Amino acid sequence: MAESKLKILVIGAHPDDADIRCGGLALKYIAQGNEVKFLSTTNGDTGHHEIGGIELARRRYGEAQAAARVAGLAEYEVLDLHNGELEPSVTNRKMIIRIIREYDPDLIVTHRPNDYHPDHRYTSQLVQDASYIVTVPNMVALTDILPRTPKICYMHDWFRKPIPFQPDVVVGIDEVIEKKVEMMHCHESQFYEWLPFNQGIADQVPVDPEQRKEWLVSWRFPYFEKVANEYRQVLIELYGEQKGRAVRYAEAFEGCEYGAGFERDDIPELFPFFE
């Protein structure tokens, strides 16, 4: 385990992205006494089939804060930018630079730059564009620069072109899976309304809250089983044969060459979960 408290900044595009791809990792950090902040670069105000605008943005903000309380996050910040309209502009880059500097994280986790959703892609680009500038005094001059550049990792996805995801770290999340379910359960507008509608399975969603959680697990959690099975060898390398083979659910992360650069030697300090 790290000798001093780590600060982790997870930057997703929407107010549930970090929970889905990184919720288990966040819970493991917090259980060790580390500090985690989630940031959504948009307010999610188009992610629904019946409501939108201010009503949806405020609802999704409330859902994010509920998830933050479940997890024990230091903060779940939601930028008030329209969903689907995020741009890798200089103005937005300066905003990301300021946020990174003020939080001063040891590790940033974000989307990969190749992804189906423009908000995901441009969130990744904004982080990459900010990764060096956080140490340059004359950019965003009224915010103190960082003494060193944070390490950056990408959250997992299955996209294969132009380059498939290549895991450097795969973390078993079995022991925190129930709390991850609770975090995702807070995002009712997404997991019980919009996404089922969008995928044509809205008629499958139960009404009872406890039955909804069971349904959520049956619908979404095969993804995390697939991650564990797909990257089983990495789990074995990190946990050892017995523990690595026993992991059922996992989240995976790929080191980014931008920022301070990520090396395998960084894993024990930044991911203090493997004994």
**pLDDT band at residue 3, thresholds of 50, 70 and 90?**
low
Give pLDDT tens digits for 107-145: 999 999 999 999 999 999 999 999 999 999 999 999 999
Distance (Å, whole) CA 128 – CA 236: 31
DSSP assignment, residue 150?
A: P
Distance (Å, whole) CA 139 – CA 114: 27
**pLDDT band at residue 239, thresholds of 50, 70 and 90?**
very high
Categorise residue 240: left if φ over 0, alpha if ψ from -120 to 50, beta otherwise: left
**3-class secondary structure, 92:** helix
CATH code of the region 7-172+251-270:
3.40.50.10320
Q: What is the mean pLDDT of residues 26-46?
A: 98
